[in-house]
Structures are given as C-alpha cells and as structure tokens.
Amino acid sequence: MVTGLIVKIGTGNTFFCINMHKMLFKLQKIFYYNGVGSILCRQNRGFDMEYNIKNAYCKRVWDDVSKRYADQDHFLQAVGLVLEAISPAVDKMPQLEEYAVLERMVEPERIVMFRVPWTDDHGKPHVNRGFRVQFNSAIGPYKGGLRFSPEVGLDVLKFLGFEQVLKNSLTTLPMGGGKGGSDFDGHGKSDAEIMRFCQSFMTELYRHIGPDTDVPAGDKGVGGKEVAYMFGQYKRLRNEYTGVLTGKGLTFGGSLARTEATGYGLIYFAECMLAKKGQDFKGKTAIISGDGNVAQYACEKLIQLGGKPLTLSDSSGYILDEEGITQEKLDYVKEFRARKEKVDAYVKKYPNAKFFKGEKPWGVKAELAFPCATQDEIYEEDAKKMVANGVKLVAEGANMPTRAEAIKYFQSNGVTFAPGKASNAGGVAVSGLEMSQNSERLSWTFEEVDAKLKQIMTNIHDNAYENAKKYATEGDYVAGANIAGFVKVATAMVAQGLV
C-alpha cells in the first residue's frame, strides 16, 4: 500500500513524499519537525538571522564560514552569535588576524566518523554512525559529552563542540572542547542491546581518546549505564584503568554531585544574576522545561532557595502546578522518570495540576524561566509571550535552547538573559573536578564538590559580568560570557603558533 504525507505552506506550495522521513531529510533546509506533530517552515523561524558583526576581521570570517557551511543551521547560529559578541574584543587584539585565530577557531582540529555495527536481541544486525568532533585543545585535552539520539550529525555536534570550547574556558579549568555521539536511539532497547552498542561504539572510539587527549562524558541519551559500559570496554581494550570518561559510577571513579551539577550550577548562576539587582529567589515563580537531570535538579535547588517552580515538560507536553512543585512532588517526578514514564504521570498523582498535551510552557505567567530540555525550544513568538507574561530573567540550562532572534527580543525588552555556555557550565565543571580526583586518586565529599561548584559558577558569572561591562553593555551576559571564554583560548592559540 502506498502511503504519503502532504504538507502545505501558505496556499500555493504542496509537497508529496512516499516516505515522511525521507521528505524531512531532503527538505531539512526548508522545514523542520517541532516534535509535537507539526512541520514548520525554517524561513519563518529565524534560521536566516542577520548578525550585527562590526569588526571587519570577524565579518570576513563570518562571510566565509556561512557560505561554506550553509546547510549547518545550528553551527552557524553558534558561530554568528559568538562573532557578533566578541567583535569589541577583537578590535583590541590585532595579532589575532596575523595568526588566523578566528579561521582556526571555527574549524575543528579533527572530526572522526565511523560505523557502529551491533546486533539486537533477535540476532538482527544494525549499523549506526559514530562521531567525535575534537574542536580545540589550546587550553587542555578535548572535553565534552557523547550524545546518543537520532538528530545527531555534524551540524549538531559542531555547534555543541564549538560552544563547549568557550564553556570549558569559562570554568578556568584546563579543558579543551569537543563533542561526539551517535544517531543511535536507546528508547525501547534492552540493557543487553545498549551494552552491545556501547561496546561496539567504544571499540572504534578508544583509538582517539585518553586521559591526556580527550575525555568524553555523558549527554542526551548517555547516562551512567552507558558511560559504565563504555568505560568497561575501554579498560578491556587498553588494559589500563584511567579516568578516560567522566560521569562514571561512584564505585569506579565517579564524583559525588555530578548528577546534580548542571541543574544546581544553573541556579547558582541565576542567584548571582539576581544578586546584582539586589534580589533573591524567595517567593519568585519560575517556569522550567524538561524533566531530566538538569530540570530536576534546577527545580530542587530552586525550591531550596525559596523559589516556586510551576512547570516541567517533555516531548509530549508540559504540566502546570499552580500550587508550586514541592520537594515531595519532585521526588515523585524522579520516580516516574526512572520508570521511563511521560510527564503526564504527574497529574495522575496530583490532580490539581494540569497537563497541556503537545505544548511548551512558555505561555505561563512567571518571573523566571529556565529552558532545560534541548536546543531550539524558544523562538521569537515564545519570547514575546514570556515578556508579556512578566518574565524578567531567563537562564539556559540546555545547550542553545533559545534562537538568536528570541535572545535579541529578550535583550531589547529588558529581560536579563544568560547563555548556556555560562549558566549550564556546572556539569562540565564537576566533570573537570572528577578528572582532578581521578588524577589524585582521591574522592571528595558531596559538600566539598558542591562548594567548589558554587564558587566556579560565581566566578563564571563575575567574569562574564565584568567583561560585558568592559567591552559591551553592563549586564549583557551573552557578550560577556563569549568574550571571557574567547580571550583565554585565543591568547593560548597565539602563543602556540600556527597549529
């Protein structure tokens, strides 16, 4: 039987395709799937964003990279925002052009691509694609997560790796930037299937990583179980026990507070933002997207500091609890998430809450917003709703969840905005602390790690704030974070010569 899909944009454009997935792939430059049943036109969503890049050198590099990688939307947004933000700093660093620093910064040092063959529980063979983008090692070994998810490809991984370079620089720890993963989808797979995939993935990846070369971690689709399987295979292949992966279990070199780190760090950063305005979290309402580790622990720390979280979400929709999500309710979220249930399980336990199928939480009235799900969550129309509903502060818990046009709308309407490379750096910061513990053969207490995390996030905030004040506009955390991260990496690249 022939099945198909008809998509209409406006009144005159109709496309027919026998296979929906092939159509979405072939037309990915024009359309995208929003995850909740709609296919939307990219041209109406800001993918052709214009950037106000004032420095001539930055502009020339942007013109070149935007032509060369015209099909890589996420990577281009990341590069465009950075080049726009760092222009004032580049004005004062003429030596950068002599050493082609910007041309080198936008190109990964190395990209590794490989096939990952594995068999399912019925003996059927499958082949996925594996990647490692080793972006920049000027200030330390490559460091960044592994993502197992169907959307993984060079565009997504290059954007994540590029952002990781600056994020890791901001922590002040000696870590370069990289990212990797596979288009493997672990949903519905047995533990045995996941183990076989992870072992096959590491059978190739192990050749390219090491404690002083490249130290991967987990990311979307890669939790403690997957990290453990990959660590075991690396140990088997290399016949050595080293801290080659972070996010490990506590019994074999992991760090306390690593699970909580990104969410807690996000709230520590936002706490500093509020303090600059003479405010704190007490009594303030917040909307949070996502219901994974970042969202859960951002919610937890927010509750501890007196805030009132109202929402959580997943790909099926969002829940709104106008009474506020308490620690008891959050503990239940952790329970049903562990059972891999959807977020609507919340309203079955707490019927006063509401579930909005297929919607995002950005229309809810609140003072604070923490996007913690994935990239491309907030577009300009979402930003307009949020501003209209009283949101005064947005801090990113996910990687680039806010599109460029939405960021500009926030900034032009008095919303204090923190980019993920600064506000969600807590995860990689504690990964760096795990590397330190592994090197010293020590294990710190939860309180020790949490205190170091809070100090790192405070330092990142202060560094971003001061650089914004020096080079751009006071309170512009986008400019401040990008400049602070960039200057350290660029200075190291100049010192090391043309490599």
What are 93-148's pLDDT values in tens digits? 999 999 999 999 999 999 999 999 999 999 999 999 999 999 999 999 999 999 99
Residue 376's CB is within 10 A of a number of other CB atoms, namely 22
CA 10 to chain CA centroid, nearest Å = 33
Residue 48 banded pLDDT, cuts 50, 70, 90: low
Lowest mean pLDDT across 32-36, 153-157, 182-186: 32-36
165 contact partners, CB below 8 Å, separation of at least 6 = 105, 135, 136, 176, 177, 485, 489
Using the structure block, give the residue that is written with the tokens 């929003």. 34
Give the pair of three-digit tokens for residue 298.
């951002």
Mean pLDDT of 165-194: 96
Catalytic annotation, pick one of 158, 167, 179, 408: 179
Residue 13 banded pLDDT, cuts 50, 70, 90: very low
377 torsion bin: left (phi>0), alpha (psi -120 to 50), beta (else)? alpha
Q: Smallest Cα–Cα separation from 318: which of 351, 292, 349, 342?
A: 342
Q: Smallest Cα–Cα separation from 423: which of 258, 246, 267, 217?
A: 267
Query: Measuring CA to CA, how many Å separate 441 from each of 190, 242, 253, 315, 446?
Result: 34, 10, 8, 40, 16
Using a 10 angstrom Cβ sphere, with 0-12 exposed, 13-18 middle and 19 or more buried, the burial of residue 351 is exposed
Residue 39 banded pLDDT, cuts 50, 70, 90: very low
pTM above 0.85, yes or no: yes
As a whole number of Å, the end-to-end CA separation of the chain is: 57
| Distance of alpha carbon 472 from alpha carbon 483, whole angstroms | 9
* pLDDT confidence of residue 100: 98
Alpha-carbon Rg of the chain, whole angstroms? Answer: 22
**pLDDT of 415 above 90:** yes
pLDDT averaged over the chain?
91
| Distance of alpha carbon 178 from alpha carbon 288, whole angstroms | 27
**pLDDT of 266 above 90:** yes
Whether the Cβ atoms of residue 126 and residue 196 lie closer than 8 Å to each other:
no
pLDDT in tens, 432-490: 999 999 999 999 999 999 999 999 999 999 999 999 999 999 999 999 999 999 999 99
**pLDDT of 30 above 70:** no
- What's the DSSP call for residue 219? B
pLDDT in tens, 205-263: 999 999 999 999 999 899 999 999 999 999 999 999 999 999 999 999 999 999 999 99
Strands 285-289 and 214-217: unpaired
Told to judge if 179 belongs to the known catalytic residues of this protein, a careful annotator would answer yes
